[in-house]
Structure 1
Amino acid sequence: MTICFIADLHLSADRPDITNCFLHFMSTEATQCDTLYVLGDLFEMWIGDDDDNPFHRQIKRAFKALTDSGVPCFFIHGNRDFLIGKQFSRETGVKLLPEHTVIDLFGTPTLILHGDTLCTLDESYQRYRKKVHNPFIQWLFLRLPLAWRQAVGRKMRSGSSSNNQMKSYDIMDVTPQAVIDLMSEHKVSHMIHGHTHRPAVHDLTIDGQHATRTVLGDWYDQGSVLLCTPAGCQLQSRSFRVAEQNQ
C-alpha cells in the first residue's frame, strides 16, 4: 500500500517540461498509488474555475482519468491556487480538504497542509493572505470579468516574485515555534507540508516526545514525490528527461 504526496508544481503553459513530468507521473506512477494528496500550488496561478482554457482542461483530464481509475485524490489549497473551487472538484473528482487536515498515515496521525501559514515571520505576506482569504473579497473578485482577473493575476504574480527576491531565507521559511504550536494543537507527531521548496525531513521534540516534519520539494528542476508505505516515507525525485522520452 502506497500513499503519494506532491506539492509546488506551479503548473503553467509556460513550463512544458514540468507539465510533461506531471502528466507522465499521473499516467504511470500515480495509478499505482492507493491515494494521492496534492498539498497546494498545483498551478502557478488560478483566478477562478471558469478559466477553462486548453491547458487547464488538459490538467483536469489527467485528474479525472486518475480518479475514474479508482485512485482517491485530495487537494489542499496553496498560496497560488486558493481559488480552486467546487467546479474544479466536480470536473476532476478531486476532493478539497481544509487548510489543516489530520490523516491516519498507517497508524500515525499526520497533519498535512500547504505550509504558508507556518511562515509567521513574513508579516507582509500574512497580512496579504488574510485579505485574499476573506470570503467577501473572493466573492467580489470572482465576479470580475475573466480578462480583468487574468490581468490582476499576472500583476500579482510578478509582484510576488519581486517581493520574494528582497526577503531573507529565514523570513520566508517556517517559524519553528509555529510548527510546534500547530502540531501540539492537533496532537500529532508527524507533519507534511510544502511551500518553502526546501525538501527535507526534520526531527524535533514536542512535549518531550520525538516528532517529524517532512517538507516536500518543488517541481522547478525535477519532479518531487513523497512515497509513504507501512515501512516508512521516502522523498524521491523524478527526472524531466525521462518524462520527455516517454511523451
Structure 2
Amino acid sequence: MQVPTGKNIYFLSDFHLGVPDHASSLKREKHIVRFLSGIKEDAAAIFIVGDLFDFWYEYKKVVPKGFVRILGKMAELTDSGIPLYFFVGNHDMWMSGYFENELSIPVYYEPKDFEFNGKKFLIGHGDGLGPGDTGYKFLKKIFRNKACQWLFGLLPPYIGMGIAHWSSKSSRAATGEDDAQFLGEDKEWLISYCKEVLQQKHYDFFIFGHRHLPIDFSLSGGSRYINLGDWIRYNSYAVFDGQRLELKYFES
C-alpha cells in the first residue's frame, strides 16, 4: 500500500471499554470517538490493535450491551471508504464474524506483516509473545479452543459477562504496577520477541499494544519497537505519514 500525500495511517489500541464503570467507560468512549472523527479527513487506514473492549463475546443471537458510539463511528469510517483493521486482544478475542459482516472490518488473531511505502511493519496485539508467561500462554490455548468457546456460550449472557468482568478486573489488579513503568530492555518481553524475529527477517517497525505503556525503542538495523500505550491513562497512538512514524498523544 502506498500512503497518498497528505494522508496518514493511524495505530491505536487498548481502549478497554466497559471498565471500571459505565460512566467512566462512556466518557472514554466519547473521547475516542472525537479522536476518530478528527482523523477522518486524513486517514488512509486505521489499525485498532486489540482490547477495544474489556470483554467481548459474540453469542449467537446476542451482541453485548453498550458501545453503540464506537461501533457506529467504525461503521461510518468504513462506509466512507477508510479501511479499518482489527487485531483481537486478550480481552476481546472471542470474535465470531460480527465485525466482518456488520462493519466490513477484517479481524486478525495473530501478528501480521504489512508494507507501506516500502517500509515493513509487523503488527499485533502482543499478548503471549516472547519469553515467559507460560501460564497465560496455556490459558490462551484454552480460550482459543472452539469447544471451550461453545461451552462458554451456553451460559446466560448475564452470568458469562459477570464472570468475564470479574476475571478481567483481577488480572488488571495483579499487573497494574508492572504496566506503569518500563522494565528495562532485558525484561521487556516484547523487545525480546522483536529481537528474535529480527534474527530471521527484517522489519522497520514492530507495532504492538497490550503493554499499556507508550514505548518507542530502537532496535538493531534501524528497526523500532512501538508500543501504543492505552486510552485509559495516556490517550496515545502512532501515526505514519509515509515516511516517519511518531508516537503521539490526543489531548483535546
Query: Under TM normalisation by the shorter chain, which class is it?
Result: 0.7 to 0.9
Map 1:200-215 → 2, pairs under 5 A: 200-205=215-220, 209-215=221-227
Q: Is the alpha carbon distance of 1:182 and 1:117 closer, same or farther for their aligned partners in structure 2, counting shifts above 3 Å? A: farther
Alignment-derived partner of residue 76 in structure 1: 87
1:220 to 197, 211, 232: 232
Shift of 1:116: 1.2
Alignment-derived partner of residue 156 in structure 1: 167
Give unmatched runs, 5+ long, in structure 2: 1-6
Give the Cα–Cα distance (whole angstroms) in 2 for the partners of residues 144 and 172 of structure 1.
39
2:197 to 168, 171, 182: 182
Shift of 1:183: 4.0
Alignment-derived partner of residue 75 in structure 2: 64
Aligned residue for 1:164, secondary structure, equals: helix
Note if contact 2:46-2:83 (Cα within 8 Å) is conserved in structure 1: yes
Does 2:242 match 1:230? yes
Give unmatched runs, 5+ long, in structure 1: 243-247
Aligned length: 237
73-82 or 160-169, larger mean C-alpha shift: 160-169
TM-score, normalization: structure 1? 0.85
Does 2:17 match 1:11? yes
Structure 2 counterpart of 1:225, one-letter code: Y
Give the Cα–Cα distance (whole angstroms) in 2 for the partners of residues 122 and 201 of structure 1.
23
Structure 2 counterpart of 1:40, one-letter code: G
Alignment-derived partner of residue 46 in structure 1: 56
Give the Cα–Cα distance (whole angstroms) in 2 for the partners of residues 117 and 142 of structure 1.
24
Note if contact 2:54-2:165 (Cα within 8 Å) is conserved in structure 1: no
Note if contact 1:121-1:172 (Cα within 8 Å) is conserved in structure 2: no
Aligned residue for 2:223, secondary structure, equals: strand
Map 1:166-181 → 2, pairs under 5 A: 170=183, 173-181=188-196
Aligned residue for 1:227, secondary structure, equals: strand
Alignment-derived partner of residue 132 in structure 2: 121
2:108 to 91, 97, 103: 97
Shift of 1:173: 4.0
Alignment-derived partner of residue 4 in structure 2: none
Give the Cα–Cα distance (whole angstroms) in 2 for the partners of residues 183 and 147 of structure 1.
45
Give the Cα–Cα distance (whole angstroms) in 2 for the partners of residues 37 and 76 of structure 1.
8
Note if contact 2:17-2:67 (Cα within 8 Å) is conserved in structure 1: no
Alignment-derived partner of residue 195 in structure 1: 210
TM-score, normalization: structure 2? 0.84
Instruction: Provide, for residues 79-127 of structure 1, a one-character-per-residue CA deviation record: whole Å limited to 9, x for no partner.
Output: 1110123123211221112411000122111100101122532222222
Aligned residue for 1:197, secondary structure, equals: coil
Q: Is the alpha carbon distance of 1:51 and 1:124 closer, same or farther for their aligned partners in structure 2, counting shifts above 3 Å? A: same
Shift of 1:40: 0.3
Instruction: Provide, for residues 173-222 of structure 1, a one-character-per-residue CA deviation record: whole Å limited to 9, x for no partner.
Output: 425432222344454232111111121211112xxx33211111211134
Aligned residue for 2:189, secondary structure, equals: coil
Structure 2 counterpart of 1:88, one-letter code: F
When the two chains are superposed, the root-mean-square deviation of aligned CA atoms in Å is 2.4
Q: Is the alpha carbon distance of 1:132 and 1:64 closer, same or farther for their aligned partners in structure 2, counting shifts above 3 Å? A: same
